[in-house]
Amino acid sequence: MKTSITITVDEATLPGLTDGYLAALWHAAQANPAPIEDRAAGKAAEAIGREIIRRFLANTPPLLWKHQGGHADWHALQQLREGRTP
């Protein structure tokens, strides 16, 4: 028995899909046997991937104040205080 499965990707609905369904779409888009020249296949995979990234970044707090302009100078001053050369 041989079965074909067609998956339709509507980019406009990606934000409303569940995480599980979006993950399934990602795997299907990556397993798509379409040739690399198939623009529609590439655009669909890219849209799905961007939605996954968008969700990840939306739920990931940014690193605030990790690197600031004065950090290098402050570090050098601390090293001088401890007798080490910066």
Say if residue 62's pLDDT is above 90. no
43: three-class secondary structure by DSSP: helix
69 — pLDDT class (breaks 50, 70, 90): confident
86 — pLDDT class (breaks 50, 70, 90): low
User: Beta-carbon neighbour count of residue 55 at 10 Å?
Assistant: 14
User: What is residue 29's predicted lDDT score, i.e. its pLDDT?
Assistant: 96
